[in-house]
Amino acid sequence: MSVYFLLYVSRSLLRLPHEGGEVDRIVAVARRENARLGVTGALVFTRAHFAQVLEGDEDAVEALMKRIRNDRRHDSVTVVCKSLRDARLFPQWSMAYSGGSLYVDRHIKPLLEVPPEPGSTEPLAEKLVRLMREFTAQEIATAP
Amino acid sequence: MSRAPAGEAGSLVGSEPVQARIVYVIDDDREIRVSVGVLLGANGYEARPFASASDFLDELAHLRPGCLIVDIRMPDIDGIALLAEAATRGVSWPAIVVTGHAEVPTAVAAMKLGALDFLEKPFSYTALMAAVEHAFDLLEREPDHRAIAAAAEKVAALSKRERQIFRGILAGLANKEMALRLELSHRTVEMHRLKMMRRLGVRKATDLFALAAAAGVSAGDFPGD
């Protein structure tokens, strides 16, 4: 039983603060749709950038990815990695982090560099996914 | 480069900048306090060191908004606990967390408490100064809710007469005119005016305008209620 895993990063085109409500809309729709499609993962928003992990059935994830690419709220959509894994890394789909942290953004920004520094993508991607998992884990741990 | 912080009533109405941007450095390591203090000073910031989280928390109610540089590992109250406590007191100033041991769970805990950045020691001075610059960008763009609430509370605590005089001044009326319209003696109006200014903690009429702006109070109708 293998799970299709995809990580992408992108540049936000939202103008803050007045378009901040869009993020809530993105999350509300994604939560509903992804649950329906059996897609798990996590979204990160750092005001300048987005990063998202999507896991599930390959066709479902790729169809989702197609819609995501056409979304006007971001551009420079860059698929960082995609693979088949033995198990899901995320128990559900959720918003892992939304805020202005420079630390979090430093995990995303370099992945948008064109062309990427040779050999840099994999370790950076691993760090980003590790960070996203930790956000999700702490969210679950502190949930009421 | 030094613009007035957004917390002071005066600065919200674009008056002359009177205070340097202040950075609170909270670290039990004296060398860090000193070296970071020197770096900040050289870049035009005012540095205020604290040797412990509790020292900072004790004074917090009297401090003006600024940027925090907080060490994670401190005896007694650590950096994470400090951020959590500050948050419960309604203080959400930008915080740069520094640590000798950068671990993801700690970084995430700090970020969830709203920390702006997380830097591992020995950190590059450039990275630190970039974060501090960013911190003041945020501080000066966003309204300081605590200051606004404090100003609004002060105005709400005025007596009816004092509030009328307050509105009269905002409307540009002289004492004589207010006296006429309120059917009070000139002397009575002056007395209320003095009391009102003292209660609001302002010394000049211009400060009144600044306070009104901070509290979100417009002249409205005189005398009003």
pLDDT digit string, tens, across residues A34-81:
999 999 999 999 989 999 999 999 999 999 999 999 999 999 999 999
Contacts of B13 (CB under 8 A, 6+ apart): B209, B210, B213
Residues B13 and B94 both lie in one domain: yes
In this predicted model, what pLDDT tens digit does every residue of B56-81 receive, in sequence order? 999 999 999 999 999 999 999 999 99
pLDDT of residue A143: 63
Residue of A nearest to B118 (CA): A103
Judge whether A95 is closer than 8 Å to chain B, CB to CB.
no
Name the residue range of residue B188's domain. 147-215
Q: Does any domain span residue B48?
A: yes
Domain boundary among B112, B142, B172: B142
Q: What is the CATH number of the domain that holds B188?
A: 1.10.10.10
Residues B109 and B162 both lie in one domain: no
Provide, as residue numbers in chain B, all residues whose Cβ is less than 8 Å from the Cβ of A138: 105, 108-109, 112
Q: Does any domain span residue B220?
A: no
Q: How many whole angstroms separate alpha carbon B59 and alpha carbon B79?
A: 16
Domain boundary among B142, B159, B194: B142
Q: Do B114 and A134 touch (CB under 8 A)?
A: no
Pairing of strands B95-99, B67-71: parallel
Q: How far is B5 from chain A (nearest CA, A)?
A: 19
Total of domains in chain A: 1
Residues B82 and B25 both lie in one domain: yes
Q: What is the CATH number of the domain that holds A117?
A: 3.30.70.100
Name the residue range of residue A26's domain. 3-142
pLDDT of residue B3: 45
Residues B135 and B151 both lie in one domain: no
Tokens of B81: 């606990």
Give per-residue burial for B102-139: e unless 16+ CB within 10 Å, then b: beeebbbbbbbbbbbbbbeeebeeeebeebbebbbeeb
Residues B31 and B107 both lie in one domain: yes
Total of domains in chain B: 2
Provide, as residue numbers in chain B, all residues whose Cβ is less than 8 Å from the Cβ of A16: none
pTM of the shown model: 0.72
Q: How far is B81 from chain A (nearest CA, A)?
A: 15
Domain boundary among B97, B112, B142: B142
Q: Does any domain span residue B221?
A: no
Q: What is the CATH number of the domain that holds B41?
A: 3.40.50.2300
